[in-house]
A and B are shown apart, each in its own frame.
Chain A
Amino acid sequence: MSISLNPWVWIAAFLTLSMMSFLYKDNIFYKIGEHIYVGSSAAFMLIYLWYFDVKPKLIDGFINNTGFSRWILIIPAFLSLLMLMRFVRPVAWISRWAIAFTVGMGAGLGITGLLQGFLVPQIKATILPLYVSGHSTLMTIYLSLNNILLILGTLSAIVYFYFSKEHTGPVKKISQIGITFIMVAFGASFGYTVMARISLLIGRVYFLLHNWLGLV
């Protein structure tokens, strides 16, 4: 292989190196790359939102639906209009109505999502037997110990988040166990993520050495 003759590959390589140069220090190349990125990505998101969200849901929805499901689309259109009222100083406050709708959605979904998606399943998953019999005595001890650790870790971590009581005496002891579990968890998930992050760098370096310079 030899060096690429495709001008687009050269542009991509220039942008890649510009963004990486940031690691050394802020410089003119990073500034160029950064501003191209911010500007073009803002436009890209606008185009994307139009073609994948607004057009199919509002415009196509209005054209293709009939009756109730057609006319109900007036409400989101109206809310969108309210949002844009922010440009009209005297009535800018009316945009809060639309904001209020989104916040209400968020709060409602916050409750339903957290209840049904996290709280209830997590509690159920923690209600485990303390004794599990395995193929051998050693296995029984291992499995039972795992369950005990899971329960202890979960409950002590909950105690760590106890706010309205001073952490002294037994509460302090338990919350310290909680902190220990939390620290192990953070270390483990940090270590677990490293591989995925290195993969990304490998991808970029390979692009530079292979697609652009043709060295490998």
Chain B
Amino acid sequence: MKREVPLFITFITGILIIIALFIPHKPFGQLQTTFNDWLIIVGGFTMILGLDSLLLHNWEKIKRKKEGWLSAAFLIASFFITLFWGFGEGIFFHRNPFDASATFLRYFYTYIFVPLQSTMFSLLAFFIASAAYRAFRAKDPNSTLLLSAAALVMLGRVPGGQAVAPWIFAFVLLLLAYYFFNESKKTSGTQQTVYIILAIITLILIYPVFYILLHYLNGIADWIMNIPQMAAKRGIWIGISLGGIAMSLRIIFGIEKTYLR
């Protein structure tokens, strides 16, 4: 009972949803929307389980004066203040707390919730910079491609990028030529010749690269997004689709049941 009934419920629900895709006729056609509504309702109620965990977890900390008990007190206090503010508005003032005139929306949401949320979101600006700095190293051909694609698309998106990009890339090529030239001094024979030739090629490339970027950077950035980027994403998506369908079938037929243990 404890194991079979849930497996059966999963099986039936999953199969009905699949059938609903192929058969528009009643009663199958509307099943998906109906089930979705039910899911939303059940999801609302499960929040109570979560709150029980959150509050108990922090209450324990306060009771035992464990490390961070003061923060836990802040958490519980702000939870209840918000809760009473929101529902209080509904119960005592008979208006939806999400009404334009509701103090909950005008003060709590605008001056407390939004600043917290958007500040946390804005930290991404810092993290995206530090991640790029740390991870984009030209260790091998693939990582070189990765960072070049990133640089081209980044510069192609901002006003003035087209004017700056040629100089940056010309500078990189110059550095590269210097690097090859320096290496050539340490070696001898054919290897030395190869390095010198490489240095010369890099130097020659500076002009065409400069010219192309100055005139076509935006087009190049769009091309990278539309062709190679799109191709790889499609491949990844086809893989995810197959893997996901197989995973779903394993769940429906009860082969995969980690979630029930």
Contacts and interface: CB of A to CB of B under 8 A. Distances in A.
Interface in A74-125: 75-77, 79-80, 83-84, 86-87, 93, 96-112, 114-116, 118-119, 122-123, 125
Interface of B, helix, strand, loop or mixed by DSSP: helix
Interface in A1-55: 8-9, 11-13, 15-16, 19-20, 22-23, 31-54
A187 interface: yes
B48 interface: yes
A101 B42 contact: yes
A9 B111 contact: yes
Interface stretch (B72-80, B170-178, B180-188, B196-204): B72-80
A185 interface: yes
Nearest to B114: A12
Contacts of A8: 107, 110-111
Contacts of B20: 112
A78 to B, nearest CB: 10
B79 A40 contact: yes
A76 B126 CA distance: 44
Majority secondary structure, A binding face? helix
B75 A39 contact: yes
A140 interface: no
Interface stretch (A131-139, A156-164, A165-173): A156-164
Nearest to A48: B98
B123 A188 contact: no
B130 to A, nearest CB: 10
Contacts, number: 385
Contacts of B249: 107, 111
A150 B231 contact: yes
A114 B238 CA distance: 9
Nearest to A38: B75
B41 A57 contact: yes
Contact of B231 (A13, A149, A194): A149
A175 B131 CA distance: 27
Given A57-B40, A103-B251, A192-B225, A33 B116 contact: yes
B87 interface: yes
Interface residues of B, number: 124
Nearest to A181: B232
B193 interface: no
Nearest to A150: B231
B152 A191 contact: yes
Nearest to B228: A184
Given A100-B9, A185-B229, A51 B97 contact: yes
Given A35-B72, A108-B13, A181-B232, A203 B78 contact: no
Residue among B39, B114, B136, B260 having the largest count of chain A Cβ atoms under 10 Å: B39
Interface of A: 8-9, 11-13, 15-16, 19-20, 22-23, 31-54, 57-58, 61, 72-73, 75-77, 79-80, 83-84, 86-87, 93, 96-112, 114-116, 118-119, 122-123, 125-126, 146, 149-158, 160-161, 178-195, 197-198, 200-201, 203-204, 207
Given A38-B54, A100-B10, A157-B236, 10 more contacts: A35-B72, A39-B75, A42-B79, A44-B109, A47-B104, A84-B49, A97-B6, A107-B247, A114-B248, A195-B157
11 contacts: A39-B78, A43-B82, A84-B45, A100-B5, A101-B9, A106-B248, A108-B15, A151-B231, A154-B232, A187-B146, A190-B132
Closest 6 CB pairs of A and B: A157-B235, A153-B231, A108-B17, A104-B13, A191-B153, A187-B149
Interface of B: 2, 5-18, 20-21, 32, 34-52, 54, 68, 71-72, 74-83, 86-87, 90, 96-98, 104, 107-126, 128, 132, 136, 141-143, 145-154, 157-158, 224-225, 227-245, 247-249, 251-252, 259-260
